[in-house]
């Protein structure tokens, strides 16, 4: 049986999205299917902007960050009539299923399509790792290593100054990146959206680190923490305590790296897993990595929820920074 599927990337771009598109495409072609690449996420779905992807079209993508299909925002996709237009386009083109590579918002869009009867499934991809349905999502490992590299560099220079160094990493609602970067980088303090704190605790933690003989004092803060880097720098400056806090704000640098081996392998496996699921007649799920294997989780358990950080790892961060 010949089959025609579409694939799109949506939401914030994540390193490894290209590897996922490649894997979906070549896995499907290996089954004799046809794959259509949708440009600019849901916007391209609405506009009917897609083209066939051959095996060669997805060559040379493994090492490239971002997404070659693009990933524009499309708030109007929340309207049912807009989604109906997208469905008409898909049906007119003879496309029988859709693979959505993205994070929380993206999977919500896919769930809505699937609810309207169009077989859709998701591939878990966001650097925030806040998506329920996959213990780890495509892009996290690369973003984490970029943050870690910055922390390592700060520690080199911090060792010769009695100051606090602050590094702000991504994570609006979820402190996963901050926490993991903090453990891997040996930060003295990690500030996450999930846990409240006051600025004075930072000064105390830094002084305490120096008292214990540490050669540096590093604080990792998630952008969505109660106070972000800019606010903290201003706080200490305005309070005029003589306490110096130097900030590094990584911003989108974390999205743009060459994908790590982990992200390429994860993307390759999840992309192939999405095709396998469709081949078995499964849709309405997010394909993710759980307990070391590729598995599927129903949209109903995924959308509208946010994965939090592990209390056990938060505790580990504290113990290991002593």
Residue ranges at the known binding site: 12, 22-26, 73-74, 103-106, 126-128, 155, 163, 170-172, 186-188, 212, 214-216, 223, 246, 252-255
| Cβ proximity of 65 and 258 under 8 Å | yes
Q: Which of residues 186-245 bind its own copies (CB under 8 A)?
A: 186, 212-215, 230
With a CB cutoff of 8 Å and minimum separation 6, the contacts of 139 are: 14, 15, 16, 17, 125, 126, 127, 255, 259, 263
Quote the least distance from Cβ 112 to its own copies, whole Å.
23
Residue 83 near its own copies by CB under 8 A? no
Quote the least distance from Cβ 93 to its own copies, whole Å.
24
Q: Applying CB under 8 A, which of residues 52, 72, 196, 200 lies at the interface with its own copies?
A: 72
Residue 253 near its own copies by CB under 8 A? yes
Residue 311 near its own copies by CB under 8 A? no
Count, residues in the chain: 322
**Residue (74 or 181) nearer to its own copies, CB:** 181
| Cβ proximity of 129 and 137 under 8 Å | yes
Could you count the other beta carbons within 10 Å of the beta carbon of residue 270?
28
Question: Residue 261: CA atoms inside 13 Å, Cβ hemisphere, count?
Answer: 0
Residue 261 near its own copies by CB under 8 A? yes
Task: Give first-to-last CA distance, the chain, whole Å.
Answer: 61
Stretch that binds its own copies, among 93-101, 111-119, 151-159, 198-206 (CB under 8 A): 151-159
Q: Applying CB under 8 A, which of residues 244, 248, 282, 306 lies at the interface with its own copies?
A: 248
Q: Which of residues 265-304 bind its own copies (CB under 8 A)?
A: 265, 268-269, 272, 290-293
Output phi, psi for 92, to 5 deg: -60, -35
Which string of DSSP letters, residue by residue, matches 67-80? -TT-----GGGGSH
**Residue (83 or 264) nearer to its own copies, CB:** 264
**Residue (114 or 264) nearer to its own copies, CB:** 264
Which one of 49, 57, 128, 152 is the catalytic residue?
A: 128
Q: Which of residues 45-64 bind its own copies (CB under 8 A)?
A: 55-56, 59-60, 62-64
Output phi, psi for 285, to 5 deg: -135, 165
Stretch that binds its own copies, among 93-101, 103-111, 193-201, 259-267 (CB under 8 A): 259-267
Q: Applying CB under 8 A, which of residues 77, 165, 236, 314 lies at the interface with its own copies?
A: 165
Residue 65 near its own copies by CB under 8 A? yes
Q: How many Å apart are CA 203 and CA 205, to the nearest integer? A: 6
Judge whether 238 counts as a catalytic residue: no
Give just the sign of the alpha carbon dihedral 181, 126, 130, 283.
Answer: negative
String of contacts with its own copies for each residue 95-124, x by CB under 8 A: ------------------------------
Question: What CA–CA distances, in Å, run from 79 to 10, 46, 85, 109, 122?
Answer: 17, 11, 10, 10, 20
Helix (H) and strand (E) counts in the chain:
11, 11
Residues with catalytic function? 128
């Amino acid at each position: 049986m010949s089959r025609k599927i579409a694939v799109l990337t949506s939401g914030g771009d994540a390193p490894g999205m290209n590897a996922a598109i490649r894997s979906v495409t070549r896995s499907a072609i290996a089954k004799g299917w046809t794959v259509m690449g949708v440009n600019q996420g849901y916007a391209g779905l609405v506009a009917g902007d897609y083209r066939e992807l051959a095996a060669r079209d997805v060559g040379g993508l493994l090492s490239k960050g971002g997404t070659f299909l693009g990933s524009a925002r499309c708030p109007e996709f929340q309207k049912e009539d807009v989604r109906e237009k997208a469905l008409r386009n898909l049906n007119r083109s003879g496309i029988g299923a859709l693979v959505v590579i993205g994070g929380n918002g993206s999977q919500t869009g896919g769930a809505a399509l699937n609810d309207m009867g169009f077989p859709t499934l998701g591939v878990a991809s966001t650097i925030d790792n806040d998506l329920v349905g996959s213990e780890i999502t495509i892009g996290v490992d690369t973003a984490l290593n970029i943050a870690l590299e910055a922390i390592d560099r700060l520690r080199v220079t911090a060792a010769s100054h009695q100051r606090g160094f602050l590094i702000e990493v991504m994570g609006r609602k979820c402190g996963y990146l901050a926490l993991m970067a903090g453990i891997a980088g040996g930060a003295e303090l990690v500030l996450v959206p999930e846990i409240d704190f006051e600025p004075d605790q930072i000064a105390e933690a830094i002084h305490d680190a120096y008292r214990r003989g540490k050669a540096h004092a590093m604080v990792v803060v998630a952008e969505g923490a109660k106070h972000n880097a800019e606010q903290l720098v201003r706080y200490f400056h305005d309070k005029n305590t003589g306490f110096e806090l130097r900030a590094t704000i990584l911003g989108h640098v974390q999205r743009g790296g060459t994908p790590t081996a982990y992200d390429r392998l994860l993307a390759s496996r999840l992309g192939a897993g999405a095709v396998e699921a469709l081949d078995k007649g499964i849709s309405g799920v997010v394909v993710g990595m759980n307990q070391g294997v590729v598995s599927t989780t129903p949209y109903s358990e995924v959308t509208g929820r946010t994965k939090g950080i592990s209390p056990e790892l938060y505790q580990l961060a504290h113990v290991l920074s002593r």
